[in-house]
Structure 1
């Protein structure tokens, strides 16, 4: 506990091994084990912000997390553990309620306290020995705060887990629930010991707690208003600072070695993540409002080009219709792709930090399922426009044009993912610049062989998409009557050559899909690099226990076997950490 900026979150991040290691060591257990992949499963952190799937129920959130993080358990064992956590953390009444979005009134689901208890339950699935909670009561009212801390207190009694919380200004009821207190100020520990004795220690220094103050309130006021003199501070530093700790006693063995290094097979990870992504996305696959918009636009376009003929001037009109078809297949998918990865990054980082799955297993369903709404909306728009306009009265041409639209959507959605990762908040502006390039150098406004840099148009995916559709709708065997009746009709190939759209449909499809594959690979590599830079958990493994640091703090907790959560948390839990 301590005032804002005293180092509470920094201390928790150091002990839970979050963030880049700059100096020093943290040791765990009676053996003084250093951080390892196996130890990571025994240390959990509940961050201050609850990041959950609004569309999933409380039970579904726990089930999917259990499926990913507990591969060695049978489905029944996972279900039993999920149910035990729901009961232990008092989530029974809201187990089938969608979590919802607390920032949107119409989409509110569970309460703030229930969200926090759900976040705690997700971290308890692997039966950690240490549970760190960064300000678990932040933003909650007094009654909900009390219920959250009482749930944490119950956890220590029922499961034997050691719970370490940072807290800013608790009420007297909440303060009394904690067994021990570390009081921080400006990065220093000024008190470490039983919670209810802290005020008495301050009283011996000439600062008794007034009758109108609660103990926690008085302790914080004494620190914030700097009521201590240097003599009192030196006494507290000598008693509770780094120099007060006995040297760390080195033991043999590895307390964390018993934690299994579990990892779900890659294909199984993909299967679980596909199921979860589908459940999250299926509510947004169909929107009556958006479908109506696309349908109306398609009808208007059909009326605009109604029954295109086969005269010489009709060739240009048919080219414009082809261009409009591919522009919509570029515009909406690319814009829709921009928020997909940024809105998932926080939850992705947290789940990667606990080793729930690999990034590649997440990337495939998370970036593929969002294609479905784009396909549906494109179909609603394209079908009426195509047949009313008479772009090509041929079923084969229709299906080939549909393939062109699918390839175009996949290509430009992939490009949108790259822009969202590289450009961040500026991704919208970067996307508009790229779209302008695609429009201007598509070959529709000016033939590519007539511009200053004719080769640049062939770097434009929209050019190949336009060629693909044009090759589909300009049917073999058709001809276009010229205005000069003395001249023979122009063949289909002559019309396409005049417009520089002679690239075969197969080549266009290969280019669009090739660009999609390469760009998606680039997006994955960029996201992987970004996650490595911001990922909180360090993965360095120490096989041996080196010499102990000069000073360390020791916390020992005795716990009874858990009647609910199975063995794994019971017994003595000893954590030795370097004083920070």
Structure 2
């Protein structure tokens, strides 16, 4: 197996353009494929600049990180709430920092500030990378592992890693090399035994919680980051699994990466792995420094000696936590926290510039920070395969969809079968058609909403990591999943139509199927739109029925079109239910005759009603079946535009870092750029 530079070397330059050379770490990188001693030296990766995207890949130097004068506040009920107060710290390459503190102390907020992931509020301070102001290339040097284990349940560990490698390594890298990189990460994270096991979910047993955490870490490691930020990587794990996860992170730091994490009440064996700790309480910096002898000495000098054979994490958290059980206890602990915070600031020496003579922030070609490592067509191919694999393996939702379709088709069929050609038959037919519309509109929308709400967390994480663009994801998902999601509506049509006894002509049946399938597509697209604009699953679950009921009222069954107030008449044009119901009625009644006038016919004067007269009562006269069908297609296009726009809004915008007054100005990370 060759060295990493040989494996990632681009193809020759055939157009006379210069190759771009990047250097990377002396430290043993966790993605390095070289074997044996003596191979951890500088390599050169030559990549062809004639590619359609400006920077294919960047291999980075070890990074030191420092921050000072960090203040952060948010607006809560029109009042400014201070989250962080003048926090500072520094971290050398290859070190692991744990941020500890009680709930509400500002741990995650500080992590987000340092990682450049703050989305709201007022933020000021200075953050330096290798002693220099943080720039746009920081995005390519860092990885952020979220607390939630958002993964595709039907993929195996190996498939998940390979897909991450496909998206986060340049398209020009051969597939075999990407597989080798994925295997290296799997081995280093201790996932080799479960590599062929599916991730799993509530219905299908998969890997353990600790393994999911390590898979999440591995996915982010595919971008070859120098800095790794993690929010509560041990949450929800037992002590043994938590130790395995932190041990994997310790290994990453020993390989030259800088690791920063928030953690809640680590066991003593986990605490021993930390190089540096940062203690926060009520937004105040209580301590920053060595995790062991230095910390014990600092608090011992203040009169708080740690007992022997005592978990240091428990001791420090007890010391800096606010006791709100009584006013007296709260006042006492608040005074203690203030004293500790003052002593921290008094005893803390000014943080030096950590710039290293031989390691500055790696050069990145202009525009590289905003580009994706993989081309859009390559993104589409990978995402299409992932979506196809997920939906074909996750058979339970498909089986439920088909079972539900059969169940409701039999119910509506038995309820409306043997309809006569009289006034009651007209009413029953309209009721049956409206049930067909409502059943498919609600069923398809909520089916896609349930799936997308879970997938949304993954999409948001991958958008933030700039793994792919919006349109390759949206189009690949649509092309891969749409045929499978239409199986249920198709089964429903084939069963319900003959049992109900609707128009027996074959062309009418085919048009009926077309109308129902278009309705299903419109409902699914509406579900994606509502799921994307909703902040969480609960909001989406409450907003979606409300929107559907409003569109239902304008569906043409409960209220005649001619009686709708002019100020509200525009809503019916946005109702996919209205267009589907209109098309079904025209398809069923137009051109039909022989409907009896119950109670008015006599032996000498038979009273017949035509289909055109029925449509006239519904204010649907004068229409062909294709007019509402074309209108439905146009509405679907509009809904797709709305769904695509809402997915684009999922890409977060992070706040800029303002320089604190009295501090020399530095270049801040552009908040308008999407990460």
Aligned counterparts of 2:101 and 2:395: Cα–Cα separation in 1: 43
Say if 1:187 and 1:357 are closer, same or farther in 2 by CA, change over 3 A.
same
**Residue in 2 aligned with 1:256?**
362
**Residue in 1 aligned with 2:193?**
93
Residue 433 (structure 1) shift: 4.4
The CA RMSD over aligned residues, in Å, is 3.7
Say if 1:134 and 1:289 are closer, same or farther in 2 by CA, change over 3 A.
closer
Q: Deviations over 1:361-406 (max 9, x none)?
A: 3233446666556522222222122112321222211111111111
**Residue in 1 aligned with 2:577?**
462
Mapping 1:179-328, distance limit 5 Å: 179-185=275-281, 186-193=283-290, 195-224=292-321, 234-240=342-348, 243-246=349-352, 255-258=361-364, 261-282=371-392, 283-284=394-395, 287-288=398-399, 290-308=401-419, 314-328=425-439
Say if 1:519 and 1:539 are closer, same or farther in 2 by CA, change over 3 A.
farther
Contact 1:2 1:184 (C-alpha < 8 Å) held by counterparts: yes
Residue 440 (structure 1) shift: 4.4
Say if 1:183 and 1:289 are closer, same or farther in 2 by CA, change over 3 A.
closer
In terms of fraction of residues, the more helix-rich structure is 1
**Residue in 2 aligned with 1:507?**
627
Residue 447 (structure 1) shift: 4.2
Aligned counterparts of 2:233 and 2:645: Cα–Cα separation in 1: 34
**Residue in 1 aligned with 2:615?**
496
**Residue in 2 aligned with 1:448?**
561
Aligned counterparts of 2:312 and 2:546: Cα–Cα separation in 1: 60
Aligned residue among 171, 174, 196 for 2:270: 174
Aligned counterparts of 2:155 and 2:449: Cα–Cα separation in 1: 23
Aligned counterparts of 1:300 and 1:322: Cα–Cα separation in 2: 13
Aligned counterparts of 2:174 and 2:338: Cα–Cα separation in 1: 60
Residue 335 (structure 1) shift: 2.9
Q: Are positions 1:28 and 2:129 aligned together?
A: yes
Contact 1:441 1:456 (C-alpha < 8 Å) held by counterparts: no
Aligned residue among 347, 355, 368 for 2:466: 355
Contact 2:286 2:341 (C-alpha < 8 Å) held by counterparts: no
Question: What's the secondary structure of 2:261's corresponding residue?
Answer: strand
Bigger mean CA offset, 464-473 vs 82-91: 464-473
Aligned residue among 640, 645, 649 for 1:525: 645
TM-score using structure 2 length: 0.70
Mapping 1:415-426, distance limit 5 Å: 415-422=526-533, 425-426=538-539
Aligned counterparts of 1:175 and 1:292: Cα–Cα separation in 2: 52
Q: Deviations over 1:262-318 (max 9, x none)?
A: 432223322322222222223146554553443243234333433555567644444
Q: Deviations over 1:104-136 (max 9, x none)?
A: 4x5442222211111111111111111122232
Aligned counterparts of 1:464 and 1:206: Cα–Cα separation in 2: 77
Aligned counterparts of 2:665 and 2:301: Cα–Cα separation in 1: 27
Say if 1:203 and 1:522 are closer, same or farther in 2 by CA, change over 3 A.
same
In terms of fraction of residues, the more strand-rich structure is 2
Aligned residue among 123, 128, 131 for 2:225: 128
**Residue in 2 aligned with 1:161?**
257
Question: What's the secondary structure of 1:246's corresponding residue?
Answer: coil
Aligned counterparts of 2:278 and 2:546: Cα–Cα separation in 1: 54
Bigger mean CA offset, 48-57 vs 364-373: 364-373
Mapping 1:327-366, distance limit 5 Å: 327-366=438-477
**Residue in 2 aligned with 1:7?**
106
Q: Whose relative contact order is higher, 1 or 2, with alpha carbons under 8 Å and at least 6 apart?
A: 1
Question: What's the secondary structure of 1:25's corresponding residue?
Answer: strand
Q: Are positions 1:412 and 2:523 aligned together?
A: yes
Aligned counterparts of 1:168 and 1:488: Cα–Cα separation in 2: 81
Aligned counterparts of 2:140 and 2:542: Cα–Cα separation in 1: 42
Question: What's the secondary structure of 2:523's corresponding residue?
Answer: helix
TM-score using structure 1 length: 0.80
**Residue in 1 aligned with 2:238?**
141
Aligned counterparts of 2:633 and 2:340: Cα–Cα separation in 1: 72
Aligned residue among 489, 496, 502 for 1:391: 502
Q: Deviations over 1:316-348 (max 9, x none)?
A: 444333333223222212333433443333222
Aligned counterparts of 1:455 and 1:150: Cα–Cα separation in 2: 63
Contact 1:248 1:550 (C-alpha < 8 Å) held by counterparts: no
Contact 1:2 1:8 (C-alpha < 8 Å) held by counterparts: yes
Say if 1:227 and 1:298 are closer, same or farther in 2 by CA, change over 3 A.
closer
Say if 1:476 and 1:238 are closer, same or farther in 2 by CA, change over 3 A.
same
Task: Show structure 1 runs of 5+ residues with no match.
Answer: 543-547, 553-580
Say if 1:83 and 1:435 are closer, same or farther in 2 by CA, change over 3 A.
closer
Residue 150 (structure 1) shift: 1.8
**Residue in 1 aligned with 2:183?**
83
Contact 1:183 1:192 (C-alpha < 8 Å) held by counterparts: no
